[in-house]
Amino acid sequence: MVRFEQAEPGIVVVTFDEQRIDAANSPALRKELVSLIEAGTSQLVLNMHEVRFIDSSGLGMVVTLLKRAGMRGGVALCAMQAPVAATFRLARMDRVFPMHADVPSALASLR
């Protein structure tokens, strides 16, 4: 469902192997990624390259991760496809989550 890569000390790159993040799978994804934060990772890059569709439960999951990571941590999103970026804009979440072009630029934003 997701792949993790320790890119740098304290920063994990999460790649979604799913074309959709919706009400059918976001509870399981939320649980898995919150576990990662509880295990000590406070900075996440979410690589959205494969994701073609996200709904409000998927957006809620991303907000949960940002809250759990806390003010000292961070969540950076990258490689968003156009329909996914449109949903972030519709919910005004683009004001909260800057959209980075790729993993290196998302990593740079967290340093």
Partner 1 sequence: MADGDEIVLDSRLDEIRRLGPWLAAALSPEVGEAAIATLELVLVELVSNTIRHGHAGEAGHSIHLRLERLEKRRVQVQIQDRASPIPTEILNRSGELPALDAADLQALPESGLGIAMVQASVDRMDFRTASDGSNLTTIEMTLEGRQEL
Residues engaged in binding partner 1 (CB under 8 A): 20, 22-24, 53, 55-57, 59-60, 63-64, 66-67, 70-71, 82-83, 86-87, 90-93, 95-96
Q: What distance in Å separates the CA atoms of residue 87 and residue 90, rounded to the nearest whole number?
A: 5
Smallest distance, partner 1 to C-beta of residue 5, A: 26
Torsion angle defined by CA atoms of residues 56, 39, 66 and 107, in that order, rounded to the nearest 10 degrees: -110
Instruction: Between 9 and 72, name the residue whose CB sits nearer to partner 1.
Output: 72
Identity (one letter) of the amino acid at 101?
A: A
Output the smallest distance, CB 20 to partner 1, in A: 7
For partner 1, the closer of residues 20 and 49 by Cβ is 20
Q: Which residues pair with 14 in a beta bridge?
A: 4, 46
